[in-house]
Chain A
């Protein structure tokens, strides 16, 4: 465990250095940490606190204000159900229900096998393909409840 913490610390320092260490780069630093670990590990935030001399309370404020950040580990594939208006009028909420049923988790949770995290996203800007769901960065257009089991199966197969 200790070794992992030191590695996170070193990586975080590297990220902070890349952005120049200025306090205004906090969001960019957190984005890079999030990208690296798929969430914001506590050890990384402690390093940000020390290195950038930003109070932990402010880091926590920023980390919880923006939707991109997660304080809990996310699964391997992030499933983002688009909740944009175009997707909504084309029935996106039913896709969310179907995913919740099939994955046996609520929106905002991660499956036990750490494979999938389910979240809602505010418009991916692919309104012409509505309703869409983004899984692990790939956009699945014109999605129906019917297609979901096969798509999830394919990601599971990929491992």
Chain B
């Protein structure tokens, strides 16, 4: 491909990309992000490929990232000229021949599409691109529009603007959706100060968890003395239960790269690093390809867009350490050392990587930048609420019907996310709490459902935004066990540098283990609270400083569960194994014997076709019996 150095080059590449996004013939697109592949998208892709070849059709088969609707993956989209884009969920290789039949015949009789996309908003340019031209074909009248789906209605897609739409390996498709135009605008028409001013005006706050104003950080780094500066993208998404950064890096890698180039130009950096978790091989692969392609087109390298500006990006793979999500630890890791954080009174914007001024932002923060540049800081600042502008991507997981990635304007009430978008709790169970902010955050109880979801409100509620994990819990989740889980996580992830975190968190873990094992004592809760204060005050970095949050928030909102464990030696949610018992309901038991066969300790006995019994002395409470019973005859006491 020809190098891109002018706006005309960019437009030409964009035209090619448009033809690829809106082809003349038939195009089938498979969602091949990690979640898609894990649900079998690769098998569906292969089946489609074989079927197309077998029937000698001239269909185009392509890959895309994730639309965020993980609960209906594998997702296959069919695009035909002038017709709405149709999305089929839960596809299997077996359904492929039928799907092809339908495309040929022009109906949707056997496999129903979940929704149709008539047109698409291109958020970067504000344009609308139409799939549907002319009247809607009669056979598609009953297929709902994507905008009518409850899952989508309240979402605003800025960060995930291209995920699930473009082929992440096709830079022309990215350009067709307004990609790299912000870079051209920034480099050719804006001064560094003007860019920074716009980012400040946008109100964009760091999406990695802390929520520090991005523009201010850029300004400090720009003003820091030194000729060599670095920009760093934090893709070490370590919060268990959060995967929005992975999805963006996999599905739209160029948006990360473009944001970083703009930032580097504004700050005066020549080199950039993307630090990606080792657990995300597909993100590494797609980013690597995207960087190579951008480099070959002259979008990375020397004199980008003919400007007197050189910049390139390297990828560094993490090696599995949660603490490396902390900025100073991440920089230590980039230097090839163990990732231990250091005191923050020396600012990384002045003395960061190799002691040089370094500006680190999270993936999501960088991805917002191109949109701010094209649409303006003011436009961005009007989305969300005054002190938390723009959108936030959440991974809505746990005990919720519509599991997936959702992007909502800041300040949306929690209940809108859980019920309208998330579709509520499965199995008619009661919603109990939602955990945000990962191990550094806290649990927000059902009673606070009207809480607006923004940086400050979450902080006041005793949790935090974090990187955006939102784990929904129902009545069957034990909050003491959850606190124990997070503390145990932090025990193994504490780098060990400072004592309050290394030893204090470990002692909290011991106490929580005892409570869950039925060995809790009066005064344990008070002791936990006291230790929490010491750990918070005495730790160097945010990992230790926020480590007690899950314990404190669960004590604050679910004290009665702690009391039940300690005083009554019972686990109300039926989770803590030392405090529960499995029983067989004689009325429901059919005596089929499946559980007895599966039981690893052979503690279930009984005559055929008669109610069975569990020998409590031998039972190890593995729960296999309950899992295998088809008659719901086994209960937890």
Contacts and interface: CB of A to CB of B under 8 A. Distances in A.
A123 B35 CA distance: 13
Interface in A60-96: 61-62, 65-69, 83-86, 88-91, 94
B241 A124 contact: no
Contacts of B225: none
Nearest to A97: B622
A105 interface: no
Contacts of A125: 34, 237, 242-243, 246, 277, 279-280
A31 interface: yes
Contact of B319 (A69, A129, A132, A139): A69
A145 B241 CA distance: 22
A7 interface: no
B241 A86 contact: yes
Interface string A137-150: 00101001110000
A5 interface: no
A141 B238 contact: no
Contacts of A89: 398-399, 471, 473, 477, 482
Given A30-B319, A89-B398, A123 B336 contact: no
A62 B336 contact: yes
Given A84-B240, A125-B237, A132-B38, A26 B336 contact: yes
B467 to A, nearest CB: 11
Contacts, number: 145
Contacts of B39: 129, 141
Given A127-B395, A127-B403, A128-B70, A62 B627 contact: no
- Interface size classification for chain A: 35 or more
Task: Name which of B38, B71, B320 has the most chain A CB atoms within 10 A of its CB.
Answer: B38
Nearest to B320: A67
A35 B338 CA distance: 19
A98 B35 contact: no
A103 interface: no
A144 B627 contact: yes
Contacts of B263: none
A129 B70 contact: yes
A135 interface: no
B320 A84 contact: no
Given A85-B240, A146-B627, A126 B35 contact: yes
Nearest to B495: A65
B409 interface: no
B634 to A, nearest CB: 14
A66 B320 contact: yes
A121 to B, nearest CB: 7
Contacts of A84: 240-241
B321 A67 contact: yes
B22 interface: no
B239 interface: yes
Contacts of A97: 622
Given A24-B336, A27-B336, A31-B319, A123 B623 contact: no
B317 A31 contact: yes
Contacts of A24: 334-336
Contacts of A61: 338
Interface residues of B, number: 59
B38 A129 contact: yes
A145 B624 contact: yes
B322 interface: yes
Contacts of A90: 398
A141 B39 CA distance: 7
A156 interface: no
B186 interface: no
Given A66-B319, A128-B404, A85 B398 contact: yes
Interface string A108-134: 000000000000011111111110100
Contacts of A62: 336-338
B485 to A, nearest CB: 5
Contacts of B622: 94, 97-98, 101, 145
B278 interface: yes
Interface string B282-297: 0000000000000000
A25 interface: yes
Interface string B51-85: 00000000000000000001101000000000000
> Which 5 pairs, one residue from A and one from B, show the smallest C-beta to C-beta distance?
A128-B70, A67-B320, A66-B319, A125-B243, A85-B241
5 contacts: A26-B337, A65-B495, A123-B279, A129-B38, A129-B70
Interface of A: 22-28, 30-31, 58, 61-62, 65-69, 83-86, 88-91, 94, 97-98, 101, 121-130, 132, 139, 141, 144-146
Given A30-B319, A58-B337, A67-B320, 20 more contacts: A22-B336, A24-B336, A66-B319, A67-B321, A68-B278, A69-B319, A85-B240, A85-B469, A88-B485, A89-B398, A89-B471, A123-B239, A123-B279, A125-B277, A126-B35, A127-B243, A128-B35, A141-B38, A144-B627, A146-B627
